[in-house]
Every structure is written in C-alpha cells, then in structure tokens.
Structure 1
Amino acid sequence: MILGVLGGMGPLAGAQFCARLTLLTPAARDQDHIPFLLWSDPSVPDRTAARLGTGPDPLPALLRGLRGLEAAGARAIVIPCNTAHGWFDAMQAACPLPILHIVDAAAVDLARQGVRPGRIGLLATEGTLAMRLYQERLQAAGWEVLVPPPGVMTGCVTPAIEAVKAGRPEASTARLAEAAAGLVAAGATAVVLGCTEIPLGLPEGAARAAVGVPVVDTIDALARAAIGWARPAV
C-alpha cells in the first residue's frame, strides 16, 4: 500500500517527515520500507495568514494535492503541517482516502511516552492556536493545554518558525528553548511541538533534552502513525 504525503508546508518539514518515516520504520532491507509519494507544493497559501484573515484560502491547493496523490496511487494520506489540519474536515469530506490526523498522532505519542492526562504545553503557530486544534482535541482526552503568552509568541515562537522556513533552523533553537522552558515553569509535564518546523529548530540532542520533560515531536508522531497504518502488526 502506498502512503501519500501532502507536503511543502514547509518544504523542509515535508522532507524531514520522509526521512523520519524511513528511519523509524523497522527494516533490514529496501523491500521492508513503506512505499510513499511526496507531493511537495510550497505554493499552498499560508495557513496561518488564512486563519487570521490576512491571506487567501489554502483549501483549493490542498484539495489539488489530495487529488494528485490519489490519482498517483496513494491509499492513505498524511499531512506534515499542523496548521493545515484546520481544514481537515473539508479535506476528508472531499477525499475518499483516510487522512491520518496529526493531533491524534500526538495524543498517541503522549501515551507512548507515559504522559498521563494532566497539564501539557504546546508550541505551535498562531493559526494553530487560534483554531484550537490541540486544545479541543486533547482536552477531550483529559489534557489541559498550556500555550505561550502573546509576547512569547511574537518574540520567540513565530520568529523561530520563520527562521526554519528560511532555511536557518539553528537560528531558532535558543528562542524555542526559551518558550519551552516557560511552559515547563508554568506546570507543563510535557511539551508538544505542534508545528512541523519546530522539531527542526529544537532537534533531538542537548537542546531538546534540556527541556526537562517529555517532548512530542509531531513529525515523528505522524511518522509512527503512518507506520501503524502500513504495518499494523509492527
């Protein structure tokens, strides 16, 4: 079965998803890996701008990508862009293929890491926060979701995401670490990296370990969900 990856939002995040899907798949040879198709379309209008009313609707471009992946033979879809999930219902209604939801994947990863329902922190785009994608879905499962205050969003999180999109992930690490530390200080027992640019700016290693609580990388969480779809027995 072929997995369709609706990417390009941004291009580096989509490419990172494909790399992590490959690295996380239990495989001893080429033939053990999951066939996938990457539709990387960076022309999709900015999702946060659309949600905040300052840019065009991305849905037509998202649907074009879904149709292209279906026509090419995909049998399920993943979208390594959190904010794009604000249009999830419309996409799923228009697409006969199952679309794996990134917030559901993050919830599974919280449980995988032993994070019990309680207070968790969320780093995400302004659009994702405004749409309450994580707040509503995770609160229904018992988690209280803490988000950065406006000053931290404008001073740390949004510039960090922009730096990754500009190909400078190393320029975002200190800002993201500061934002994560603020959430932990406010009582978060885990931090969800709810924008697929953020794991690139706060990579595995010393910077992420310094957060001091479990960290959910939504690129990895979505990759694990895709592996579970393709290899149910794994």
Structure 2
Amino acid sequence: MTVYDVARALPGIEELRDHSRGLAMLDAVLCPEWESRYYSFDAHWSEREQLASMKDGQGDEYTIVLSQAGAFARVFAHESMLSPFGELADGQTWPGVLDGVPEAFAEYLTEPAFTDEDGVHVTTACLWREPADTAWHTGTVEYPDAGDDREDPDGSGRLLHLLVDRSAEAYAEWASDYYETPVDLEAVRHVLALRPLTPEVVATLNPEVELADLAEDIAEIGYPTA
C-alpha cells in the first residue's frame, strides 16, 4: 500500500475529523499519561486550526491540520527509504512528495513543527484535500524498487491504518495489543460514534479512570458532552 492507495480509502474531511477525535478520546481514557498516548487531537491548535496527530514513541508520526482551507496531512516513517535522513534521500524530502501542494496549504511547507533545523520537511508521504474536492490528492512520487518495505514504502499504509479501517473492531484489536489490556468493543463503538461519555463507558474501558479525570482531555479534543 502506498499513499495513492491510502488517498482512495480515506473518508471526507468531516468524517476524518470526527474519527480522529474519537481515536484521541479513546486513547485519553486508556492512557492517562499524555506522553504515552498514540493518538491525540488538539481542537485549539490555533485560532483557526485543529490538529489530529499520532506518535508511536519510536520516531514514526503523522499530523493532520484541519481548517477552513481543508485538510493537510503529513506522514513520517523514520525507517522508510523515503526518509530525508536515509541514504537515498540525501538529507532532502523525497522528490515528488510535496509536489502540487496548493497555495491554501503553502504555509505548512515551512511550518517549524513539520521541518527540521535546516528547513527540510520531515515527511515521507503527504496528502491534502480542500473543501470542494471530491478526493484526496498527493504528489507524484517514484518509489525506489529496493529494500524490505516495498509494499509500504512511505509508511502511510501502516501509520494511517486506523484512518483507513475506521471500524471499532480495528481499534479494539490494535489497542488491546498496544496497551496490553482487553478493550471492550461496545465501549469503543460508543466513543467512535462521539456519544457523550458516561461513567459506565469510562469504567468499562479503564476502571482506574473516572469521568471527572477527563475534563481537560474532553476540552482539548473538543469531544461532545451531554
């Protein structure tokens, strides 16, 4: 799977926004320590932007900026052959990855959060979608035909997996493995549907967390309340 396959499988902007909020809320319940969470959502990244993000703690990540201009997504797989820090890329963003990014998202090409100290965009895959678009767009990339990651050369298939497969089953399976604890499927469905949290749902997901403990997370994520 490459970024082209992912682009065809991703949902529209609003569905992506809602699903990202659900993923972040689930992680907030399952993992009280913010630094150890996988998925996050900042509904107040700026006055006009929200940010959905993922960090796996091993150097891989994605960030998706959501605004009135649409959605701009970058993926970074640190072991990808396309990594700017790999031997093939020679310290530069892989050719084509950022080609065609429209003016509406031009500021994100120099955004310090997405670039290194030399101004190189730390990205192995990039996607964007404006409000009037009927599909996601990507640059035109030629992938090297070498190495063990030829089936997912830019890391987008693996790192955006739970945005492509948005089922409760997919998250429950992933979270059970990642957090090493059983994860209740119905509770996952409740949260991914963005229904207001209840003490019972929270306790089902994590008996060591109470609803009141999540007030700051709920506000940051912009998760619906009763």
Same fold (TM over 0.5): no
Return the index of the structure with the highest Cα Rg: 2
Scaled by the length of structure 2, the TM-score of the pair is 0.31
Greater helix percent: which structure? 1
